[in-house]
Structure formats: C-alpha cells, structure tokens
A and B are shown apart, each in its own frame.
Chain A
Amino acid sequence: MTSRRAFLKASGALVIRFALGPRLALAQDRPAALPGSLNANRLLDAWLSIAPNGTVTIFTGKIELGQGIATALSQIAADELDLEPTRIEVVTGDTARTPNEGHTAGSLSVEHSGTALRFACAEAREILLSAAAAKLGVPAAELSVKDGTVTGPRGTHLTYGDLVRDVDFKREATARVKPKPPSEHRWVGTSLARRDIPKKFTGGAAYVQDVRLPGMVFGRVVRPPSPGARLTSVDEAAVRRLPGVVAVVRDGSFLAVAALREEQAIRARDALKQSAKWEETAALPPSGDALYRQLMSSPLPAQTVAEKTTATAAAPVKTLDALYTRPYQCHGSLGPSCAVAQWQERTLTVWTHSQGVFPLRADLAKAFGIEPGHIRCIHLEGAGCYGHNGADDVALDAALLARATDGRPVKLQWMRDDEFMWEPYGSAMAMRLSGGLDAEGNVVAWTHELWSHPHSTRPGSSAGVNLLAARHLARPFPPVPPADVPQPSGGSDRNAIPLYDFPNVRVVKHYLPEAPLRTSALRTLGGYANVFALESFVDELAAAGGADPVEFRLRHLKDSRARAVVEAAAQRAGWRPHAKGDGVRGRGIAFAKYKNLAAYCAMAADVEVERQSGRVSVTRVVAAVDAGQIVNPDGVINQIEGGIIQSTSWTLKEAVRFDRTRVTTRSWADYPIVRFTEAPEVEVVLLDRPDERFLGVGEGAQGPTAAAIANALANATGTRVRALPFTPERVRQAMAALTPP
C-alpha cells in the first residue's frame, strides 16, 4: 500500500511520509452536499474577499486558541489561490463577519473549515482566472498565477486586486473545482511559523484582556460561596460609596460591580463578599471512593453503546475485571475568563474568547429576550482553554453588568477563585471493565461499563440558557440537562468502543444528566478516562496471558494505520519485548484513535518511581501520530507535545477538591499542576499521509498518555493503579498492598 516513503526532519521530530497513488481525497459524488462547513455556509463570499491591493481575506467561523488554526487555514488558502500567506488576512469567529461554524471543538477545525476553504479558494481561483482570461483576451488555460499575479502568454499580467470588479463571489459554491493534489502544495505540509505568535512575545494586543475602549470601566463578579447558594442580603449602598464604583448590580443571587479602575473593582468585590449573606445547602457529593460509589449507584437505566457477538468465538478460560476511576478535573486556564461588553441603545456587542460565538449569541439572546440580530459577538483570544471553561459565562456576566453603566463598555475578568470554583469541570467517571482470554491468550470477551455526568453543557447544547449567571437571576433560567453527545464521536462514551478486533464486545453507559457539580467539555470529553481504562485493561489482559503488550495489541488490531503508529512508537522508543521493570523504572505503551474517527496516536512512556515517597516521574514519552494529511507539522507536534505534558499533569496530580457544601479548590495551591522540572522529555514521530483526509489531532494525546503512564507504572512496580490521579500517597499505598512474592 505504501508506494513511497520519504523521511523529513521537522524541528527535532521525525516525519515519515506515506504517499499513495493518485486518488481523490474527497470524492464529489453527491452534488447537493458541499464539503466541510461549506455545506452549511454555501456562498463563496462568506469565505473570502479580495481587496483592490490584492490582499485576500479569508473568513472562518472557527477561532484561534493557540492551536494555530489561523495559520493552518492561511496555508490551505495560499496553496489553492497561489498566493503568499503574507497576503492573506484571516478573520476568525465574529457573528457579523464570518460563517457560522458552531463551536471550535473536537479537533474538527481543519476538517470543517480547512476543507471548506480549500474548495472555496480553488473555485475562487478559477473564477479569477476566467475573469483574467476575458480581460486579456486569451484562454484561461494559457494563464499562470504566481503570488496573486495572473500572467498571460505574452507576459501581460493582472493582479487579483485588478480583478476585484470583474468577479462576484456572492454566489453559491459548487465545489466542482478540484483542489490541488498534494504534490502541488507549496505551503500545506510545511511548518509555517504561526501568525499569532510574534505579538504574544512583544506585548502586542493579543487577547481579549488587552481590549481598551473609550470610557471603559472594570467589572468583577461576586459568585455565591457554593453551588446552589442563595443571596439573602448584601449592603449594596455601602459599596456604591466606595471610591470609583460606577455600578453595583444585584439580580437574585447574581452580584457584580463596576468601577473606574480595576483595583477599585476588586476592592468593591471584596467589600460585597464581606457583607453578602448567603443561604447554602450541602448539595455536593462525597469525596474519595464514596464519590464513585455514589456515581455508580444511579438508578437510571443503562444504555447499550455497542454490542458485538461472535458465536464461533471460544469460551474464555480466564476472566478478569477491574474498576477504574477519574475525578473531577479542571481546565485551569492560566488567565481567568474575561469579556468586554457594551450596550448601545438596544444592541449588545461582546468581545469574547468563547469557542463558539454563534451559540453564545443565541444563548445571550435568550437570556436578554432580544433578537440574536441585536447582538454581535466578536472572538478574541483568551488564555488557552482546552474546552468549555468560563469564557461564555463571563460574557453574560459582563453583559448583565454593562446594562447598568449607561453605555460604557465593561471589561470583566474573573478572579482566580471564580475560575477554579465555577468553571465547568471534566466529569468524574467510573469505568468497570471485564474481559476473558481463550486458551491461546486471545481476547474473546470484552465489556466496558461506564458512569458519567455530561461532557457538553456549552451554549446551544440544550434548550436552556447554558450560561452560569442565568441560573442565579431573580427570574432564573434553570439549566436544562443536555443529552449525551451521540456516537460515533460520543460524549461520556467517547473512545469506549475498542478499536481492537475482539469477537465479543459490550459497551454500556450510565449517563447521569443531573450533575451536582457543573460539568462540561474538557479536552476529549469522556475519551481521556475511557482510553485510560481501556488501554490499562488491555495491558492487564496481556499480562494475564503472559503476552508482551505491543505484540498483544498488534495481534488484536487489524487497522493498518493503527498498527503503524503502535509499531512506530515502539520502535522509536526502543521497545524490548517482555522487558520487566526493575522496581523503580518501567515502560508502558498505549494507543487510541481519537473519537475512533480522528488522529491515530500511540505512545511509549518511561516512568521512575521513588519507592519511599511514591512519587512518580514521567521521564520520557515517545509518540507516533497519524493525522492523515498534515497541514503544519510543527503545529501538530506542538499540540501533541502539549497534550502529552498536560495529560501527564492530569494523570499524576489533578483532582478538584470539595466538601459536602463548597468547592475547596480555590487557587493553584489547591490544584497543583506539572511544572518544568516534572515535564517529561517528549519525542513525536509523524506519519504523514498526504493523500488521506485531514484527521483532527488536538486532543489525540490525552488518553493514550494516561494509559501509557499507568502501564509503565505497573511495569516498573508490579502494581496496577486504577484510580486517577497517581498521587504519591496512592502509589505508596498500592505498593504497600502488594504482597511480596
């Protein structure tokens, strides 16, 4: 199948290129459906426009969140238009200017937006060429284009800018112009430097936090001390008299303050906190093992996610079962959520780092009872979010407060404790796995049962108003629990269906829509916990059958691309079959295809355990990734590296703390994350397949990292730890419980 293999070097990482014979990556057999997000936004001018100076602006409904999407999309457009990327401007999520592409989530931006832009730009180029042909009086076939200049046979030329008046992109895209084959790409496949980076290291205005508008005031919100608390009294008048205070807004249990200066707003917030009286209820779940017992005692009926039976399969001669758990975990954005809001007459403008400006606008419209057309949401970057954090919530906070500032814009940033206590967490989960081996040590039975709260309560995910303050208002919008994200991508059950060829498989979920702590999308949804459990259990079964973990995986994997990443990771890491850990050091492998639909990712992790303390260090991780056609190799490597180290942090350290009433995680002191001295060395091998379609990669590392660490820890110590995170205490206890041989 592989006809050519080339080895490329990109920023210290290995890129292995697989090129297939010529074949169309995206077949056009259904004329009505258009590719990617073009299908829902069918006009060409929704995607691009040309200025008289020849600059092309491309529009995407997706947003930049430090994943490099603006750069990647400019590369795709540059190739189709034959234009230097420096002549391309990228406008991201803005309800007044860009197509509606929903949320920027699920590692789908290149698949959705990149595919749409690729076809739109290919078509635009052809339209430009035929306009140039008419103008120059030569057949289009005799024209060539270089950096936006169209040249005819006798050297006559026109720039795209010269053609502005001759073309009309206000027409439906047809997607009939075939995009360029990978062999003609000049920009796609190269590590073009990201366009968002220079301003970030020079103090440029790069974030919503950097917005400064005439007359702008500063806002802060005063959240209840616990979920479900009700505000009974507060001395607003005293706070109104504090220096600089412009407005105090109280609406039910929603409380916020605006002041001329930021430190004045913070002081006023403290004063409101001091004087506010709340009625609280002990509505939170227990901690520790009791948390999972409660989760698993749900009386709701189980739902079958997948079922496969093979009557001819042998009966198991050996069976195993194991329970894995994952606590509530934080996004923990480095910069607390922030928004700027301004009311002018009856129209609202919000500058926001929401991952979905259109869904946010829809929920804001519901909250204020106005038409979405009267609201404009403009995306600007915030600190990295890794899913649904407080970005949308703070937009409503700012808009509620800005109603009281007489048209003055309000910049409202959450304080650190607002973010830790009120961001929606990644749900706690329990996964019970059982399996059986036949006499040859092959898996003949596999069951994965899971318990989870929602993984997507973003704006637009249910009929309610999915913005935090809406539930605190005097006339509240009670949250409407969302349905689980359905398969094939899945939500709580994301990646719960094994990609291995097991003859009997049953996957069952207990989806608990009512969550005592607010939960939503955290990078991979249920995928992190499910892959942790699934890939840990694969190792447990391999061990039960005396098999090597790599050989065992390959034996059960038919998908050739899956096999290729497992083999590449093992080879690059120097995998030694059946190697035993020495009590301190160990190595583990794990694999997943994110969502069972996106990038393939396998990795080998090396750990070292301090036996006295139980402290685990992850020293090195080698990952192999197949993301189909790669637009920007360094961008992919950056996502995978970051994913591995972030997941190492989740896996070794992170859990939200709470008592029966309040969340007690308030600052970084309560929520330690991995630091420089704890970050593993990372190496990424990319398997580039330019003839395959794009596969989202941004979340691919999270699950396999956790399992590779778990497997390495088991390899090192002979002890299987099944509860996340692997804190020193837990690891120490697990080692102590191990009866000496």
Chain B
Amino acid sequence: MASFTLRVNGESRTVSVESDTPLLYVLRNDLELNGPKFGCGLAQCGACTVLVDDKPVRSCVTPVASVAKGGITTIEGLGSVERLHPLQRAFIEEQACQCGYCGNGMVMSAKALLDRNPRPSEREIKAALNGHLCRCASHNRIVRAVQRAAQEMRP
C-alpha cells in the first residue's frame, strides 16, 4: 500500500492503496463518487470515463499512481442537481437516456469535446462519442443533448 494525494474536483484527497489500483475503484469506493461506472474494466465501453487534465481517460484501466499529479474531474465536479452544468442540464432536458448507466461517460467525453471544439458538427459529436457504448440505444438523444449544450455554452 502506498499513499497518494489526488486532486479530484478541485479538492485534495489522500488515499492509501496499491499503486496499480485502477482509478475507478479509488473514485467509487474510497471517495464515494457514484459518477464513474464499472462497465467492462477493459477500456471498451466508456462508462468509467473521467477527465484527467481535461482529457477523457478510462478510469477502469488507469492505475492510480499514473494520475497522482493530474487534476481529476468527475461528473460530480461539473455540477449538482441544484447547480447544473450546461451539459448536465441539456442531457436532462433532452431526456437523453433510458437507464443512464452510460450517461457519465457520454457527458465527460462531451465535456472534453466542447472544451476543444465549442461548435462541433453532428458528425464530430458522433465521432467523439463513438468509443462509448449505449445499450439502451439513446444515441440520437445524446447527440441532441450535446448540440443543445454547445448552443447554450457558446460565448
């Protein structure tokens, strides 16, 4: 076991875990964050996505030691029910899910997309999310939600 001080959603959090522990379990179990989800543990589905220094990473295959220096953002860090981030608001307004289990990853990758490209085309949105699976098949609603958020966030 080793001790790691992580910067998560703007706060310093210290955890004592094996250095190869996937970040996902630290976030979910030590820090009790529900946002990132276990979907496959194989970097195949995207449900576990978080941002490390504003880039989407798959926390299920990211050893905690490798992100000890970076700034980690989870969906909890974007906003809350009371203070929604425009992306969260757009996903809710578009009712962009059935079960919603994929939603965390969709929102986080969309955040990274809009940060680097505030006016993505439909094609660019689909390309950015193509590595994320949604089994309920809410794809079109998710694309509409990202378009809506992009509109709203436009300076």
> Which residues of A does B touch, CB under 8 Å?
11, 65-67, 193-194, 196-207, 209-210, 212, 218, 243, 261-263, 266, 332-336, 381-384, 386, 413, 415-416, 634, 638-639, 641-646, 648-649, 667-669, 673-677, 679, 681-682
Contact = CB atoms under 8 A, between A and B. Distances in A.
Interface string B24-39: 0100110011110111
Contact of A679 (B91, B103, B104, B139): B139
Given A203-B33, A204-B34, A641-B141, A416 B41 contact: yes
Contact of A202 (B42, B81, B140): B81
Given A203-B35, A203-B104, A382-B99, 17 more contacts: A200-B100, A202-B80, A203-B33, A207-B34, A207-B101, A261-B29, A334-B47, A334-B134, A335-B39, A336-B39, A384-B98, A638-B141, A642-B136, A644-B137, A648-B137, A679-B137, A679-B139
A334 B130 contact: no
B31 to A, nearest CB: 11
Residue from B18, B75, B132, B134 with most neighbouring chain A CB atoms (10 Å): B134
Contact of A416 (B42, B99, B135): B42
B81 A199 contact: yes
Interface string B101-124: 111100100000000000000000
A282 B38 CA distance: 33
B130 A675 contact: yes
B129 to A, nearest CB: 5
B127 to A, nearest CB: 7
B62 interface: no
A618 B22 CA distance: 38
Residue from A194, A212, A335 with most neighbouring chain B CB atoms (10 Å): A335
A206 B100 contact: yes
A96 B83 CA distance: 35
Contact of A206 (B29, B34, B98, B107): B34
Residue from A11, A67, A383, A638 with most neighbouring chain B CB atoms (10 Å): A383
Contacts, number: 176
A646 B79 contact: no
Contacts of B35: 202-203
A200 B145 CA distance: 14
A288 to B, nearest CB: 26
A67 B28 CA distance: 26
6 A-B pairs closest in CB distance: A66-B99, A200-B100, A384-B99, A645-B137, A203-B35, A66-B98
B7 interface: no
A4 B76 CA distance: 48
A679 B125 CA distance: 13
A402 B137 CA distance: 35
Contact of A212 (B32, B38, B40, B107): B32
Given A200-B100, A634-B95, A667-B40, A210 B140 contact: no
B40 A668 contact: yes
A66 B97 contact: yes
B133 interface: yes
16 contacts: A193-B92, A202-B35, A202-B80, A203-B74, A210-B34, A261-B21, A263-B21, A263-B22, A266-B41, A334-B101, A334-B102, A335-B37, A335-B47, A383-B37, A642-B137, A645-B137
A198 B135 CA distance: 20
A677 B133 CA distance: 11
Contacts of B37: 207, 209, 335, 383
Nearest to B32: A212
A681 B140 contact: yes
Residue from A196, A415, A642, A682 with most neighbouring chain B CB atoms (10 Å): A642
B75 to A, nearest CB: 5
Nearest to B76: A203
B39 A674 contact: no
A641 B40 contact: no
B97 A676 contact: no
B140 A682 contact: yes
A65 B99 contact: yes
Contact of A641 (B18, B22, B140): B140
A204 B144 CA distance: 23
Contacts of A381: 99
Contact of A200 (B45, B47, B80, B97): B97
A351 to B, nearest CB: 14
Contacts of B129: 676
Contacts of B133: 334, 668, 673, 675
Nearest to B47: A334
Residue from A266, A415, A416 with most neighbouring chain B CB atoms (10 Å): A416
A334 B99 contact: yes
Nearest to A420: B40
A121 to B, nearest CB: 25
A679 B138 CA distance: 9
Contact of B92 (A65, A198, A266): A198
Contacts of B136: 66, 334, 384, 642, 646
A383 B34 contact: no
Nearest to B139: A679
B150 interface: no
A650 to B, nearest CB: 10
Contacts of A634: 95
B41 to A, nearest CB: 6
B153 interface: no
B137 A641 contact: yes
Contacts of A197: 91-92, 95, 97, 100
B89 to A, nearest CB: 9
B55 interface: no
Contacts of B147: none
A261 B25 contact: yes
Contacts of B47: 334-335
Contacts of A679: 137, 139-140
Contacts of A649: 137
A677 B140 CA distance: 10
Nearest to A198: B81
B40 to A, nearest CB: 4
Nearest to A649: B137
Given A334-B47, A335-B37, A668-B40, A646 B95 contact: no
A669 B44 contact: yes
A448 B35 CA distance: 48
Given A66-B99, A201-B92, A333 B135 contact: yes
Given A201-B75, A668-B133, A638 B98 contact: yes
A262 B29 contact: yes
Given A262-B25, A383-B135, A201 B91 contact: yes
Interface in B40-95: 40-42, 44-45, 47, 74-76, 79-81, 84, 88, 91-93, 95
Contacts of B81: 198-199, 202, 204
B38 A335 contact: yes
B143 interface: yes
Nearest to A645: B137
A210 B25 CA distance: 12
Contacts of A648: 137
Contacts of A209: 34, 37-38
Contacts of B32: 212
